[in-house]
Structure 1
Amino acid sequence: MTVSPVSLVLNYQQTGKYALNVVAGSIMTRRDLRDTSIYFSKNLEELTGHINDAQRQSQTVIVGWSFYSPQFKTISKDLNYIKQQSSYANVLHLAGGVHATAEPLQTLNAGFDLVAIGEGEQIICDLLSAHMNGNNFKTVRGIAYLDASKLEKNGKGETIDLNDYPPCASRFRKFGPIEITRGCVYACKFCQTPFVNKARFRHRGIENIAHYV
């Protein structure tokens, strides 16, 4: 089977950095994905440059964005700017996080090519693997996209066991607070978190936490 090289460029700024640390770390848990080129772009100029660099070495470039609702307007402008500054060829802009999960149609209409619905660890691994092996990304669980302006969703991403994935990307020296608990039981009307994977807590094990301290 022919393997097609894929690069991942991460919009590594604002409030999405900790989530992207986890995304990058999750990729390193997969032996078949460990050679994936991953770029961490700290501003729009770096993001443009990294996309152009990645296009020269990969058949597909996935640009990862993670953001909250208050950043949506700014992120939409940033996306439009990036698309004007870089080539469209073989570039897919992927949005994830609670806003994209709650509002996939709005997010796609803003110009994103794909939305990750739900938790991103397994989705990003499956998406990269699909592209590497020549499979259709539309078959990946948790991916949403537009088909002739109509929203198409392939379900929601797998609810993971926190112990199966690192809370950081140590290979790239990208660290943040260790996520000990995910989810919430307090269904506040202003918050999306309890509705992503039901109103419950999930905890990282003590031994796993100690390993990363």
Structure 2
Amino acid sequence: MKLKLEITDIARLMQAEIAAGEKAVSAAIKDAGTGLKTAWRGQISGAGLGPRLARTIRSETYPKARPSLNAAALVWSKAPVIISAHDTGPLIRSRGGLWLAIPTEAAGKGRRGKRPTPQKWEARTGLKLRFIPRRTGPSLLVAEGRLNSKGRAVASRSKTGRGLTSVPIFLLVRQVKLRKRLDLAREAERAVNGLPEKIVAGWLDGKV
């Protein structure tokens, strides 16, 4: 009977195992972060909030320069207030406790596509707004003008008053409940739950 004794370098094996684990964890974390970013962007676009808002979702994996067992991914939005509002569906009230002015289509857009305020709208168009209270439905801010080909309220050029009409420019409400249109937590939970399987699969592949 011949006996053979082999001494294995335990330290070297352990180091190789740790290296495989670092790569597996980092790869899984990066994949989960990228997947969550894609899922959030898809949910925002699917809710009709537009590709521009969807592109505010970003992701980053840390550490950037090397794999690590403590790798982490951060997924965030560059427009957190808007995203949070559509994710939670909050009740919005005016700061002064009076009215919220919601522009109609006739109000058009302000600078850089932003919604105009009554003060800025008057300054831009030269028209004066008139308050119309209503018992049912929202009260109104209207202007005496005409609608152009784009459906925007503008000053009338007619000296006879032809085409002049009272155009609703803003709807006035005490408060508004924003409809919840997103469920970002659902996608985040799905990404977290899928991490163990991704890590194990990557760890085993790295040892083959």
What TM-score do the two structures reach when normalised by structure 1? 0.19
The structure, 1 or 2, with the larger RCO (C-alpha pairs under 8 Å, 6+ apart) is 2
Q: Which protein shows a greater Rg?
A: 2
